[in-house]
Amino acid sequence: MSRLFSVAAGLLLATSLVTAKAADDAAVTMPEVGKPAPKFTLPSQDGTPISLKNFHGKWVVLYFYPKDMTTGCTIEAHKFQDSLPQFEAKHAVILGVSVDTKESHQQFCAKDSLTFRLLSDTDHKVVSEYGSLSEFRGNAMAARNTFLIDPKGKIVKVWTKVNPSSAASDVLAALP
């Protein structure tokens, strides 16, 4: 009887864990194309709070990246920086988001001459709302995803598992 009880308890525990995992996965869904972009306010590299609502009337390129000053993230940031005049000509702003601190963003911008805003999401709130929270070796970080938000605040395109080398050109091609 106790063996049967142990098996039943084990099955119940396994079912609970699977259900909890499924609930966690459901909570990490990305916002859908055609829906309003989740609102946010995050500090930029200079500490200024930046809100999505500040850019009403402009296109917003909201890109999530794993870590300041790493190879792929540096390539991606340079591609956006190099294309900044083309984005500005299309009335688009670029906002990079990671879970790094604003101090880390300051160093990244200074070291790599980045002039667009990098936003710090140390609480992982915005990264989570955009379905872009990831983990690598036990550390939370942003997954490399990009969202194109139209001037009215709706998501018009989503790129997941972005290629850092082509991210900027892919987004530019999608802008009207």
Asked whether the beta carbons of 31 and 155 are under 8 A apart, the reply is yes
CA atoms lying within 13 Å on the CB side of residue 168: 21
- What is the pLDDT at residue 27? 47
Closest Cα to residue 81, out of 112, 103, 42?
A: 112
The pLDDT profile of the chain, 176 residues, written as one tens digit per residue, is 444 444 333 433 333 333 333 334 434 588 999 999 999 999 999 999 999 999 999 999 999 999 999 998 999 999 999 999 999 999 999 999 999 999 999 999 999 999 999 999 999 999 999 999 988 888 899 999 999 999 999 999 999 999 999 999 999 999 99
Residue (of 52, 40, 43, 62) closest to 103 by Cα position: 43
The reported pLDDT for the residue numbered 28 is 58
Q: What is the pLDDT of residue 55?
A: 96
Output the pLDDT for position 73: 93
Cα–Cα distances in Å, from 14 out to 18, 30, 50? 6, 27, 43
Residue 1, classed as helix, strand or coil, is coil
Q: What is each CA distance from 105 to 18, 25, 67, 73, 146, in whole angstroms?
A: 37, 29, 9, 12, 18
- pLDDT value for 24: 41
146 pairs with which residues across the strands? 63, 159
**Catalytic residue ranges:** 73
